[in-house]
Structures are given as structure tokens and as C-alpha cells.
Amino acid sequence: MKRRISQARAMKEVKICLAKVLCLTALCAPSMAQQGKACVPDKTFAQVGSLLEKQDYEAAKRLLQGLESCPHLLPVQRFNVGWLYGKAHDSSGALKIFKSLRDDVPDRLTHGYAIALASFQLGQYQAAIDALTALRSAGVFDAKCADLLGVSYSKLEKYQDAYAVMVENIRDNPSNPYAYFNLITLFVDTSEMDKAARVANKAVVAFPQSAEALSMRGSIELSLDRSDDAYRDFAAAAQLAPEASDPPFFMALVDYRQLKYVEAETVLRNAIASGVADSDLHYMLAECLRRVDEANTSGALLELNQAIHLNPNSVPARALRGSTLLEAGRPADALVDLKIARDLDPNPQRDTRNTTYMLGRAYAALGKREEAKALFAQLGPQFSSNKAYTLNQLSEQKMRAALHP
């Protein structure tokens, strides 16, 4: 996990707990006479659920704020409001509600885990640890608690404590794939890639139908330059999860690195044709088309346009479209993309010299010599452009994400 509980796992646990809470809510609902005076939250909960599906978090929170002020909510209903605040990315509001209730609402385990998860999402890792260790001391502890406890220790770089919890979790909950995934991530974070590979092997054996386990092992193999093994794992993951975008991306990356650009193009086109809509696939396809035929700017631009349509904030797609437009004699259009790519880079500490160089060239082509000179001065006399640099950055970023699910 990405030094945090995985989003998919967190949402799964939220849905399980929410279903439990809703069931309790129904059992404890007031009588019809009482409902005349009390709030009836079911309709609001349904509306909030619909807004969350649309990722309209602000509108969801406005409805929850109105419901929160209702004086007649049952404790379990108020807890439900807290869960929904969490799903609306307002962990602070969720935590405030959880702490206002008794610790047995709706039950000790759910309440304690809710506080730990909200604290974790707020970056309060020691508070999460305290809540979870209290549950363990009380004998109320399960696999999801162990997952979160191990990752919380890891977040604070208490790796020995994290390791002990994670190993115990695998032993006590062998059917929990996240127990393995967390330990893999721990070893990746401590640069013990051989140990990560061994745990990944065990995860694939334990969960042969898990695309995530195969993708994690494939990413480790790729980082260890075991390209053929990595390709087989990503191909198997693609078969198990044809809707996922990472396996075909990495399959194409293996082909690309082996200079098999046509094969990489085929992998990407097949994934796109199957309905996988992902900006990075179109970006990668443009890179392949440029390698197959550098003069094919129209084909590359077509894919880059689609990549940016799917994700207007794609730094690699913006950078490559900018450089492609520049080479096609359209420096004014190139300037727009290159400036956006430079401004949007999600990591301001990352090296953006390649984009800066292309941006300087665009200014020079437009006759803006002072702007170009200022940018080239930032690069230094020894700088040389690297056409593969942007792809390498994206590949490393995606591999890190795959190893921190």
C-alpha cells in the first residue's frame, strides 16, 4: 500500500460498514408518529450516495451538513453521517462525529476502526496507531485493522513494528491479499527488492486469480530487469482484469524497451479497442508511433489529442504534444502545451529540464529571444535533450503506484 491503506480497500471497508450501519438504522427507525417530528434521513442518504457516485463531494457535504443539524437523529444514523463525510473526502468532519458518539456505536470494532481510518487519512498516524492498538488490547481486532496498523507504523518509518504486524497478519489472515501486498510495499520502501520479490511470489501462489498480485510481481521483476518474467505476469494480469489499464501499459513498455515498437503498438491498440479508456495508453501509443515513423506526426497528434481529452492535466501528453507540434512547425501551439506541462508537473522537485529546453526552443522559433535565453540559461552548457526522458518519468511513476496499491 502506498504508505496508506489502499483506496480500493478503504472504500470496500466503508461499504461493508455502511451496509451494516444502514441495517441497524432500519431496525432502530422511529415509529411513524415519531417521524412526524424527527428527521427522516433515508432519502438524504440516497441522495448523498448518488452525489458520491458522481464525485460531487461538495454537494454531498452540503446535504450532510443539513442532516447533521437534525436533533432527532439516532446515534447509529449520526455515525452513518460520519461515514458519508469520510466518503466525501472530509475526514475531519467524519472524525468529529465519531468522537462525539459512544465507542459502541454501532459496535466497538466498527467505531474504533472508523476513528483510526479518519485519523490516518488526516495524516494523524500515531492517533490511528493508538486507536488500533486499543482495539487489539480489547480483543476486538480483525484483518482490516491489522492492515491499517501495519501501514500506519510504516508511515512513521517504524519499519520493525510494521514488519511484525504484517507478518502476524499473514499468519492469522492467510486469505487476506492485502496482508501480502502491504509487506511487499514495506520491502520496496526499504529497498529490499529481493525480499519483495519473494513475498510477491507467495502472493501469486496464494491468490493465482489476483490481477493485482501479478501486477505487483511484474513491477518488481521489471525494476529488477527481468523483462520476460514481467511481461508474462502483466499479460496474465491483463487476462484476469481486461478493464485495467496498467497491465497493457507495462506490456507495451517492455516491448518498447526492447525496441519492439510495432508489437507495443499492437498491445496498446488492442487494449484501447477493448474499451480501456486511459490517457496514458494513448500517450504511450503516440510514443510508439513516433518510433515506428518519426514523420508520422499526424498519427501521434491524434493519440495525444485523445490522451489530453481524457486527462487535460497529463504532463507527459502535454510535453510530447508540445514537442511534436514544435517539430511540425507550429511553435505557437507548442508553446501552450509546453507551458502547461511545465506548470502542471505534480512534483515541483522533479527535473523538468527537457520540457524547459523545448519551451525555450518554442520561444526562439517565435522570435522571443529574451524568453528563450532566460530558459536556456537555466539548463547549463552541458545539457542535452533526451527524447525518452518523459516516458521514463511516467514509467517510474506508474511502477511506484503499482507497488503501492
Domain boundary among 191, 222, 250: 191
CATH code: domain of residue 45: 1.25.40.10
Q: Residue 395 is placed in which grid cell? A: 514509467
Domain boundary among 157, 191, 225: 191
Tell me the residue range of the domain where 101 lies.
1-191
For residue 250, being part of any structural domain is answered with no
The CA-based angle 349-220-165, given to 5 degrees, is 90
**CA 318 – CA 304 distance, rounded (Å):** 8
Q: What is the pLDDT of residue 44?
A: 92
Contact 68, 97 (CB under 8 A): yes
- 15-19, 48-52, 152-156, 244-248: least confident range: 15-19
Neighbouring C-beta atoms of residue 208, cutoff 10 Å: 11
Q: Single out the residue of 219, 273, 223 nearest to residue 246, CA to CA.
A: 219
Q: What is the pLDDT of residue 15?
A: 47
**CA 93 – CA 67 distance, rounded (Å):** 13
Phi, psi of 277 (to 5 degrees): -100, 100
Domain count of the fold of the chain: 2
Does residue 14 surpass a pLDDT of 90? no
**CA 297 – CA 317 distance, rounded (Å):** 14
> In this structure, are 127 and 6 located in the same domain?
yes
Q: What is the pLDDT of residue 351?
A: 56
**CA 343 – CA 108 distance, rounded (Å):** 47
Three-state DSSP state, 123:
coil
From start to end of 214-291, where are the E strands?
none
What does the pLDDT look like over 199-258, one tens digit per residue? 999 999 999 999 999 999 999 999 999 999 999 999 999 999 999 999 999 999 999 999
- 21-25, 42-46, 114-118, 253-257: least confident range: 21-25
> In this structure, are 184 and 333 located in the same domain?
no
For residue 94, being part of any structural domain is answered with yes
Q: What is the pLDDT of residue 389?
A: 66
Q: What is the pLDDT of residue 386?
A: 64
DSSP state at residue 382: T
> In this structure, are 40 and 156 located in the same domain?
yes
Question: What mean pLDDT is predicted for residues 376-404?
Answer: 80
> In this structure, are 175 and 44 located in the same domain?
yes
For residue 210, being part of any structural domain is answered with no
Q: What is the pLDDT of residue 390?
A: 78
**Mean pLDDT value across the chain:** 89
Domain boundary among 147, 167, 191: 191
For residue 48, being part of any structural domain is answered with yes
Residues with Cβ within 8 Å of 7's Cβ and at least 6 positions away in sequence, in order, are none
> In this structure, are 56 and 178 located in the same domain?
yes
Does residue 367 surpass a pLDDT of 90? yes
**CA 387 – CA 135 distance, rounded (Å):** 53
Provide the pLDDT confidence category of residue 72 given band limits of 50, 70 and 90: confident
**CA 67 – CA 320 distance, rounded (Å):** 48
Q: What is the pLDDT of residue 379?
A: 84
Does residue 370 surpass a pLDDT of 60? yes
Q: What is the pLDDT of residue 387?
A: 64
Question: What mean pLDDT is predicted for residues 313-327?
Answer: 94
Does residue 30 surpass a pLDDT of 90? no
Higher confidence at residue 259 or residue 353? 259
> In this structure, are 28 and 145 located in the same domain?
yes
Provide the pLDDT confidence category of residue 119 given band limits of 50, 70 and 90: very high
Q: What is the pLDDT of residue 385?
A: 66
> In this structure, are 133 and 22 located in the same domain?
yes
Question: What mean pLDDT is predicted for residues 126-151?
Answer: 97
For residue 320, being part of any structural domain is answered with yes
For residue 211, being part of any structural domain is answered with no
Q: What is the DSSP string of 168-184?
A: HHHHH-TT-HHHHHHHH
Higher confidence at residue 146 or residue 390? 146
SS3 annotation, 66-100 = HHHCCCCCCHHHHHHHHHHHHHCCCHHHHHHHHHH
For residue 204, being part of any structural domain is answered with no
For residue 299, being part of any structural domain is answered with yes
Q: What is the pLDDT of residue 29?
A: 44
Q: What is the pLDDT of residue 215?
A: 97
